[in-house]
Amino acid sequence: MFEEIIGRLETLFPLLHHNEEYHASHHPSSPPSVLPSSLARLGESIHFYMENSDPALITKYFSFMPTSMMKPPVIAVLAIEYSVKYSYPFMVFSHEAVHLTSAFSDIAMMEKHRSHINETLGISELPLIVKTITVGVKHHGSKDFFMVTELGNVKIDKRTKEKLSEATGIPRHAMKRHFHINDPDFDPVRNLGLSPGHVGPFPYFVRNLAHILFLKKEIPRELVAIRLTPFDTLIITEILFERLMMAYMKWKGRDVVFISADSD
């Protein structure tokens, strides 16, 4: 499936204009607090595209909010395509806006829609939300930046820093003393195309990142949740998420390093 997804990324290039060129075009500086009731929601827009090969509804939907606050639409299209093809469970649902400065968090949003999610997918436990942070570590007179993704809240303890040191080659003493989450010297909009609070493993472009890391839990989860926009969340299988992440980064010319997130 990995190579297949990379090939599909090439054929979906019209949707990939949501990259540097698209990123530089005019977009609202902030998303609306609510979306127009007449606007086709993201799930409907993607299904329309899959049935008609017409991205007009997707383009219209994404025009209502800043590009930096939404994951590339091609990810949602690929996720649904491959979920249907391989009969994987999936769900795209709309909800109240989740913003960085809002008290309405991802966790609160998932809890509010628990019944709808559980009934639709036939599950009893909510999927973990994909979370990503950027990190800066100063060592040998310079500073390396890297991106770390985990399911649920990203937890960086002493043992995790040791594993990060082994994976990146950055000395342990630097990891211990000069490890800065959301380092102010790393601008996620300029380097990833995504604003703070919306950073994720599907950036529009990759600049100034020495390492891209995924802290994989030893006990896998069947389903994971990815917030695509302030108004929309995608739920797919963990195995599809991992393959999408790896294929997308490979398409960008980068590799994802997997590290065990559990204590040895």
Residue boundaries of the structural domains of the chain: 2-127+224-237, 131-219+253-260
- Condensed to tens digits (0 to 9), the pLDDT of residues 49-108 reads 999 988 889 888 888 888 888 898 889 999 999 999 999 999 999 998 887 555 568 989
- Please report which confidence band the pLDDT of residue 263 belongs to, taking 50, 70 and 90 as the band edges: low
> Which residue shows structure tokens 């993201």?
42
Query: pTM of the predicted model, to two decimals?
Result: 0.92
Say whether pLDDT at 18 is over 60.
no
Say whether pLDDT at 13 is over 50.
yes
- Please report which confidence band the pLDDT of residue 33 belongs to, taking 50, 70 and 90 as the band edges: confident
User: What pLDDT is recorded for position 219?
Assistant: 84
